[in-house]
Chains A and B, each alone.
Chain A
């Protein structure tokens, strides 16, 4: 498995979330290229960026779920937390000098695709409806840009 391609079946129909997911896919591909060029330094940099970005994305996504009253938000959060712990373990092993890139890439690709296709799809309808309600009330320009 090499480059991870963004395909339409990964779309949740929530533009801002889809863009964030695409950006995570870009980071995974950047990580793959860094590994291909055997650049340990670059792998470390991309890994840190990927972790930072993913944490912000999870926080954003959890706010949307909460705001939409998605009933399974706590279970979804637990899955995020488990993933964060796993990636932190990889980061730790990397810092100790281990070559974890292959294993990490496999985990990231499989996890992200599975998670987007099922767990994220499950909240998407609730979040979309909620956003449509908010948009319909014309309460703010920035929401229109995100969700319009």
Chain B
């Protein structure tokens, strides 16, 4: 017995290994994710370029054809104009054009709009992208939080009437396409019942209101974003609720929840720090996919509500065949999603310490 008592404490080998390099590993997790994001961005930029150039009906060729037909321009003139607008020198070999294009991107040059001559694509982005980030970001936060809380309630009240009602609602919500929700909101709230002034809510701000740190501006911005946000929230919250419910149900069966009860912790502490936090982890992995979906959907939602965000600009450009804007805006939307995914990854590594060690990579 004496021998066991005097024995040196067991040095946990794993800990020695990990805490020594913990900061390093965490940093390298960020680094890994950052590299992945940059690589994805590079691939997307490359794809976009070659898509535009090499597709059988490449936008440049289409545009040249259009110029020739509409303005009866000779081919070389149409071609020069196209090259100027796309910020591409069509006489160079493709690979050099590609490097020019990359160089232009790095200088922030995305070309100039075809239909609004003289307006660089970047100025569209500066003007319209913030509204999309604002409305989509706010909607995601509202939807995620609501979904987590309601999912938790559903799991705790499992098989009760609250659970049944919320499950039905969530299932229906998650099955309805977002643009149909937009149409329904306009039909019923705007036109039939007339409770919401749909026409005044168009645009991203009322005339005469300027961005600034004022309550007036904030209220107006929310007023105009309210309908898109409602549509985003209603169409995404169902999925969060159902995922959170099933995740919570499985966490409630975990031993550590029983141990937490055995330790006499308060029910509120168990619900938040033990059940809620662990049950929400799978939702963070879904966040990345959801960001892409909502941002993609913004093209339709912003058009339906005439909310002037970047999605609205994209659909207009598509409909009006403004290929330069189309290309630039698509690139920016994709890069925003890549950045948002990187952000979601960071968030996830912050809520789940295990992820930093690459064990769930």
Partners in one complex: no
A-side interface residues toward B, CB under 8 Å? none
